[in-house]
Amino acid sequence: MSAYDQDLAAWAAEQAQLLRSGQLAQLDTEHIAQELESVARSERRALATCMSALLALLLAGQYQPERRTAVWHATIRAERREIRQLLEESPSLAANLSAARWRDMVWSSAFAEVVTETGLDALPVTCPWSLAEEVLADGWLPT
């Protein structure tokens, strides 16, 4: 069993030390590549999770106006801040906002959450809003 499989934290510290000391030939390049790919997936998942939560809030608020409480507004602002922070830290994630497949995936998740939470079934099956121009715009709310 490799150091990678036995103790990920110790393996990572060792790989960082090898990099810093220039001992490139000793690096576990295959596992390093896997970990880097995992970081990228994790960032995309974080964006999708936040966007799905934001879309669910907006959708539920549109169809159930009684949900539009101070907490609802505050949660929307918090999700937008989190998304902006993710996009500032990893600008390449912004490409997801215009990707139809990604948008459909996050909408599907938001849609399912709202249907489960509210029992509503007369909801749009595709996202009716622009993610970048509307959903992420401060102060924008669906009518």
pLDDT digits (tens, 9 = 90+) for 17-61: 999 999 999 999 999 999 999 999 999 999 999 999 999 999 999
Q: Say which CATH architecture domain 3-135 belongs to.
A: Up-down Bundle (1.20)
Q: Is the pLDDT of residue 2 over 90?
A: no
What integer is the mean pLDDT of 77-105?
A: 95
pLDDT of residue 110: 97
What are the phi and psi torsion angles at 136 (to 5°)?
-90, -5
Q: How confident is the model at residue 91 (pLDDT cuts 50, 70, 90)?
A: very high
pTM attached to this predicted model: 0.85
Q: How confident is the model at residue 65 (pLDDT cuts 50, 70, 90)?
A: very high
What are the phi and psi torsion angles at 5 (to 5°)?
-75, -25
What residue segments make up the domains of the chain, in order of their start?
Answer: 3-135
Among 47, 50, 34, CA closest to 91: 47
Helix then strand then coil, % of the chain, to nearest 5: 75, 0, 25
- In angstroms, the Cα distances linking 113 to 52, 55, 124, 129 are 9, 10, 13, 18
